[in-house]
Amino acid sequence: MKLVIVLLVGIILYILVSLIYKRFWHKGLNISVEFESDMVREGDDNKLIEKISNDKVLPINILQIRFALPKVFKFAEVKKSSAVTDQIYRSDYFSVLPYQKVTRYYPFKCTQRGCYQLASIDVFGMDFFISKARRMTLKTPRLMYVLPKPIHDISVPENIDKIMSSIKEDGESRRCVVLLNTELNSMSRADELVEDGVRIADYLVERCYKENIPVKFFTNGIDMITGEECKTGFVSDIENKESLQKTISRIDITKSPRAFKHVLGEAERLDDGNTDFVIISNNRKSDFVKLLEEFTAKGHVAKLVIPEFKDVDITPYEDDKEKIVKWVVEND
């Protein structure tokens, strides 16, 4: 008889605890997964921060937080996997006492330019008897921007300095429009050349800002968030500059761009006689050459920057130090 009573009490206790956990396990449970910095440079270190606060008397014996991150985030403790995927999957476990706060930091390296977001976070809480997991899903709207890898001054061609000086010397009212063409001259190592063009655009925007030259950015590159072409207004303050750099970070080089002539046509309407155009383009096929000749024939002031590998010539252009620059970006 005593055994039956003990069993009944055990069953009642089990059911009661299960019901309590079912209703209250997520009450007062605050969980956040965020990045230490929302804007870093390619190659920089960052930290993933997990924060848990259990503001109730009910403990959570096992709490599992599970989510996916881009594979380009390199965590020291994550082992290499042979699986073909662009994601890595984290599954972190906690034991949270009543009214306890827990914070964990996970360092990682940002190895690729882009804009990243934790799409969702799955949270699983085990009851007191560790017999059943309860689940909830959290949304994380915050974005993390990885700006292009900075170009060191030592790798900047000397004629770029002359081009920038000429813009300043033409008068305080001069403005600069940076145009990036993501069409390619050839398919050999194409992704590297596009990335070089993105880094050059970022460098020129930063330099214009530092030298108090109003700068605007246009490209036929597709925004990985909006699906439209990336473009910005003229930069006038630090907030505008950061917004412009974030736009550059979102260029998706895997998407096919529309013909550059359409972007150039929109940009040239900005010319009020006080505008210098700096065009960044590895593409220099016959249709582009004709397009640029027509553009300058209209009286627009344009400089051409050609991202290219060291041992490749820039045919059909000669190395005109005043208007045309071959830029070899030395990547670490």
Distance CA 293, CA 282 (A): 16
CA dihedral 81, 41, 146, 50 (to 10 degrees): 70
Q: Give the pLDDT confidence score for residue 82 in this predicted structure.
A: 45
In this predicted structure, which of 21-25, 89-93, 133-137 has the lowest mean pLDDT? 21-25
Residue, of 18 and 92, whose pLDDT is higher: 92
Tens of pLDDT, residue by residue over 205-263, are: 998 888 888 889 999 999 998 899 888 777 766 678 888 899 999 999 888 898 898 88
pTM: predicted TM-score of the whole model, two decimal places: 0.85
CATH architecture for segment(s) 149-327: 3-Layer(aba) Sandwich (3.40)
Domain parsing of the chain, residue ranges: 28-146, 149-327
Domain 28-146 has CATH 3.40.190.10: no
Q: What percent of the chain is modeled with pLDDT above 90?
A: 36
Distance CA 229, CA 177 (A): 16
In Å, how far from its chain's centre is CA 201? 15
Instruction: Tell me if the bond preceding 157 is cis, omega within 30° of 0.
Output: no
Task: Write out the two tokens for 70.
Answer: 């881009």
Q: What percent of the chain is modeled with pLDDT above 70?
A: 84
Distance CA 300, CA 304 (A): 12
Task: Say if strands 215-223 and 175-181 run parallel, antiparallel, or are unpaired.
Answer: parallel
Tens of pLDDT, residue by residue over 258-315, are: 889 888 888 888 888 889 999 999 988 888 889 999 999 999 999 999 998 888 888 7
- pLDDT of 68 > 70? The answer is yes
Confidence of residue 28 (pLDDT cuts 50, 70, 90): confident
Helix (H) or strand (E) holding 242, with range, is helix 238-249
Q: Give the pLDDT confidence score for residue 219 in this predicted structure.
A: 93
Coil vs helix vs strand at 251: strand
